[in-house]
Structure 1
Amino acid sequence: MKSHERAVMRVLNGETLERPPIWMMRQAGRYLPEYRAERTKAKNFLDFCYNPDLATEVTLQPIRRYGFDAAILFSDIFVVPDALGYPVWFEEGRGPVLEPLSSEQLAKLDQARTMKHLAPVIETVGRLRAQLPSETTLLGFCGAPWTVACYSVAGHTTQDQTAARIGAYRDPELMQAFIDQLVEASITYLVAQIDAGADALQIFDTWAGVLDDAGFERWSIAPTAKIVAGVKAQRPDAKLIGFPKASAARLERYLEGTGVDALGLDWTVPAHVAQALQKKVPVQGNLDPMRLVAGGTALDEGIDYVLETLGSGPHIFNLGHGVTPQTSPDHVARMVKRVKGEI
């Protein structure tokens, strides 16, 4: 089966299917016991991401278990700054930790080392394409520069990224210089993923929604537009999905400004907004992940609502953000069966 016949790719090319294809953000993750078993084999999370044997295995696990229509490369958004030489590590129970952004840190970044450092990740992409069922779409990804940069300013994540916002206001030149480095490395990385076998790409901008209007234009739209243009300049047929979380009122502006081929929608996007956007591009989403945790009637009603409101246009069924560790695997199985019309 050729890639253009894969269900997710058919939707990304503008088709409306009788039942939407389905995959799930963070579908390879801690809610699965088989994932947790593999995680013990690496001393830290970055080593886990850079180990093609382990990364390939955990990417394939949810495909074997649920038959999702797409697999997304198991990696992390922080492999890009790490590849550039920016100090980043993961602490158990805390997550990613980065050295605070400074001109001294910025001066140490080196684009030339990016692809050598990321070679194990690209190897994983190639292995996945060889091992996945022919009908399964393989998605690559990167973090949007603003979301990656947020963690570097504070050194870690915060609820509304106040440190990053203050840093961008106080020293926009420093932030811009870092964003530009991330844009360049992200283009290189995404093109390499396409060349290794990825069918399409997603850009995650988890923290786009904390920005004011001017910030959204400068720090979310502009860098993403550069990445999209940079990838398409080298690989014109590449399909890119943009996911600017918590940005419902700005999604049309984001779409027009970035040139992405499809939009990922979080669970707060109203149905009428999603439907209007769907007339322009394929959309992906947008079940509240907490319905998946709750299960039962709440889950069924949420699934049915998404199918009813987005079923008349090109749609990829997904969560409005990543699946959480407390989610029951049985609830995921029910979701997949319901979306596929089996229950």
Structure 2
Amino acid sequence: MPGLLLDTLRGKNVRPRPSWLMRQAGRYLPEYRALRAEKGGFLALVYDSEAAAEITIQPLRRYGMDGAILFSDILIVPYAMGQDLEFLVGEGPNLSPRLADAALSSLHAVPERLTPIYDTVKLVRAQLPADKTMLGFAGSPWTVATYMVAGEGSRDQHVTRELAYRDPAAFQAIIDAIVTVTIEYLAGQIMAGAEAVQLFDSWAGSLSPAQFERWVIAPNAAIASAINARFPDVPVIGFPKGAGEKLPAYARETGVQAIGLDETIDPLWAHKVLPEGLPVQGNLDPLLLLAGGDEMERQALHILETFADRPHVFNLGHGIGQTTPVEHVGQLLNLVRNWRG
């Protein structure tokens, strides 16, 4: 029995609507904070497969979402490609050597760094009911490249964008290398038990149309094509945050089976311009979930009603904020489950 979420991602328009929430496993949950206090830092948790599996399952235990999203990080791919990875308190992730200063060829791959992630997937899938979907994920090549080049996150990705303009051949080599590893990484997750996978492109919105075609659409199309060929029953969800008016081209050209919408996308516009019958996912503003109350419910109902005639997975437009009250999450999910359209 595949369950509501997998049915929807395969193109069925089901009731009630399935739901899961980006970053549903993490810092807003008291049970997560307790486990982290016991186990140590973020990367230590990711590489403790039993702890990571427990964290992945925690929100389903509390709320009963339809999907469990793997507890990990998009920067596991550059870590496996040979960059050193640290999560610095108060500063976020740091990768070294940064590829703004070092050649891609200087990195020495460490593929065994992916194995504990596959172990987490196996542990979670073994514990999930049959009707709950195990979701794997990876960062999309453009977003992963921004961290590999700059060594850290940035608001406008200027270091990486400048390199892509100045030396497109060198940057293409970085993108191609990420594509190759990402295909194998997602394949490993699927063989371990992931039933659908999501490609997170958190920084897609910083690119011009021409750059978007080359650095977002083309590499995501290569990944989706490879996964679809090897695992035809495993849906790929594309989430190009900030794509805006470039979203229809992304939907047409990447070959993904579902599109994640960020909170800046008008649901009415998306329903009109995206291919008929293409499953969509989203797109409540995470700040509305933080605020809760009547306005959150009104906006959630608007999203549900707008996508009533299309396969739809209810989700946020990005991840749950760490200060979100747990009761607001329960309020939202109860509304979604009780809606029949």
Tell me which interval the TM-score lies in, with the shorter structure as reference length. over 0.9
- The aligned counterpart of 2:192 is 196
Structure 1 CA distance for aligned equivalents of residues 178 and 47 of structure 2: 19
Provide the C-alpha distance between the structure 2 equivalents of 1:44 and 1:85, rounded to a whole number of angstroms. Answer: 21
TM-aligned CA deviation for residue 270 of structure 1: 1.3
| CA distance in structure 1 between the aligned counterparts of 2:101 and 2:92, rounded to whole angstroms | 24
Quote the residue 1:107 is aligned against.
105
Q: How does 1:47-62 map to 2 (within 5 A)?
A: 47-62=44-59
> Could you tell me whether the CA contact under 8 Å between 2:67 and 2:134 is conserved in 1?
yes
Separation in structure 2 between the aligned mates of residue 256 and residue 326 of structure 1, nearest angstrom: 37
So what's the TM-score if we normalise by structure 2? 0.95
Work out which of the residue numbers 76, 80, 85 in structure 2 matches 1:79. 76
Give the partner amino acid of 2:232. P
Q: Secondary structure at the match of 2:11?
A: coil
Decide whether the 8 Å contact of 2:237 with 2:260 is kept in 1. yes
The residue that corresponds to 1:23 in the other structure is 20
Identity, in percent, stands at 47
Secondary structure of the residue that 2:38 maps to in structure 1?
coil
- The correspondence for 1:11, drawn from 8, 11, 17, is 8
Deviation at 1:88, TM superposition (A): 2.0
Structure 1: distance between partners of 2:237 and 2:161: 25
Q: What is the correspondence of 1:255-294 to structure 2 with a 5 Å cutoff? A: 255-276=251-272, 277=274, 279-294=276-291
1:57-206 correspondence runs (5 A): 57-99=54-96, 100-102=98-100, 104-111=102-109, 113-114=110-111, 116-206=112-202
d(CA) in 1 for partners of 2:7, 2:298: 27
Q: Partner residue of 1:212?
A: 208
Shift in Å, 1:314: 0.3
After superposition, what is the alpha-carbon deviation per residue over 1:260-298, rounded to whole angstroms, capped at 9, x for unaligned?
Answer: 000000111112322132624100000011100111112
Q: CA deviation at 1:48?
A: 1.4
Q: 1:278 and 1:293 mapped to 2: Cα distance?
A: 32
Match of 2:237 in 1: 241
5+ residue gaps, structure 2, are: none
Offset of residue 251 of structure 1: 1.0
Q: Secondary structure at the match of 1:54?
A: helix
Conserved 8 A contact 2:201-2:241: yes
What secondary structure sits across from 2:200 in the alignment? strand
Q: Does the residue aligned with 2:264 lie in a helix, a strand or coil?
A: coil
- Count of residues in correspondence between the two structures: 338
**Distance (Å, rounded) in 1 between the aligned partners of 2:300 and 2:125:** 29
Instruction: Give the C-alpha shift of residue 109 in structure 1.
Output: 3.2
| Residue segments in structure 1 that go unaligned for 5+ positions in a row | none
Deviation at 1:103, TM superposition (A): 7.0
State which drifts further: 41-50 or 258-267: 41-50
Give the whole-Å Cα distance in 2 for the aligned partners of 1:73 and 1:119. 14
Deviation per CA, 1:118-138: give whole Å up to 9, x if none.
Answer: 111101101111001221111
1:275 maps to a residue whose letter is H
Give the equivalent residue in structure 1 for 2:29: 32
**Among 228, 234, 246, the residue aligned to 1:232:** 228
Q: 2-side partners of 1:119 and 1:37: how far apart?
A: 26
SS of 1:118's equivalent? helix
TM-score norm. by structure 1 comes to 0.95
Q: Is the 8 A contact 2:134 2:193 kept in 1?
A: yes
Give the equivalent residue in structure 1 for 2:316.
319
Give CA-to-partner distance per residue, 1:2-47, whole Å, 9 cap, x none.
3xx3111110111111221010000001111111111123443222
Deviates more, 1:267-276 or 1:213-222: 267-276
- Deviations 1:154-200, CA, capped at 9 Å, x for gaps: 22111121222112112222211111111000000101111111110
